[in-house]
Amino acid sequence: MIVAVIPAAGEGKRVGLLPPKQFFPINGIPLIVYTLQVFEYHPQIDEIIVVTSSSYLNYLEDLILKKGFKKVKKIALGGPTRQTSVWSGVRKAPENTEIFLVHDAVRPFVSKHLIDKIIDATLKYQAAIPAVPVRDTLTQKENGWLKKILPRENLYHIQTPQGIKAEILKKCLEIAENKNLTFPDESSLLLYFGYPVKMIKGFFLNFKITYLEDLLLAQKLIESKIFFSLENLETDGTSLVK
């Protein structure tokens, strides 16, 4: 069984919107709906577990019912960090779960093709993540002034979904909780505990909506219908960097 865990408990403080960005409407549809529908219609995803805050629990329950998401079997309550929210979702998964895919609710442009690749790589390597090369010059600053240019070769932006064999993710999350350790994502969690993580080509349009300009860009992408052409853009290599 393959279970997708979608953490959606963030408050979206950097965007500064109410409702939080994962529930903010784009063309009248809450952002999380665009994300959930990709996993809902993916043939290899058996179950979806969404993690949210207590403030939006009833809203999310009504939304899932209204939109007819059949694979969203459970809703878990999130915690103060992404890690605690993911752990809350993982603990609600069926015992026979073989693979977890953890995906940010605010990455609505994930594609079926990318999910396929992550599942295949996870089955082969036990853990796999999508990543895209850093495009821009990287720098350090000091007191507001340029201090040092950093080489960007072999540097990548990590994306989601991150695929992990169920027994590994459960073990690592439990130990981290018991030791009061916090990690920003699953790849850093696994790296800390010595598990190898396979990196595969991500997709530049699979970006995380973090700031207001990201939300505005997402709206334009959806309005332009490019959202429905992602599969072709990705599979023919047009938007991929080798």
Inside any domain, residue 168: yes
Band the pLDDT of 10: cuts 50, 70, 90: confident
For residue 147, the Cα-to-chain-centroid distance in whole angstroms is 33
Inside any domain, residue 43: yes
Whether 89 and 169 have beta carbons less than 8 Å apart is answered as no
Q: How far is CA 29 from CA 137, 161, 207, in A?
A: 36, 22, 19
Mind listing the pLDDT tens digit for each residue in 40-96? 999 999 999 999 999 999 999 999 999 999 999 999 999 999 999 999 999 999 999
Inside any domain, residue 26: yes
Q: Residue 200 above 90 pLDDT?
A: yes
Averaged pLDDT, 6-12: 85
Inside any domain, residue 152: yes
Inside any domain, residue 241: no
Mind listing the pLDDT tens digit for each residue in 129-151? 999 999 999 999 999 999 999 99
Inside any domain, residue 205: yes
pTM of the full predicted structure?
0.91
Inside any domain, residue 11: yes
Query: 160: domain CATH number?
Result: 3.90.550.10
Instruction: Count structural domains, the chain.
Output: 1
Inside any domain, residue 242: no
Whether 129 and 191 have beta carbons less than 8 Å apart is answered as no
Tokens of 182: 């916090």
- Cα separation, 180 vs 176, in Å, equals 6
**Could you give the residue ranges of the DSSP H alpha helices within 27-134?**
31-40, 57-67, 82-90, 112-125
Domain around 138? 2-235
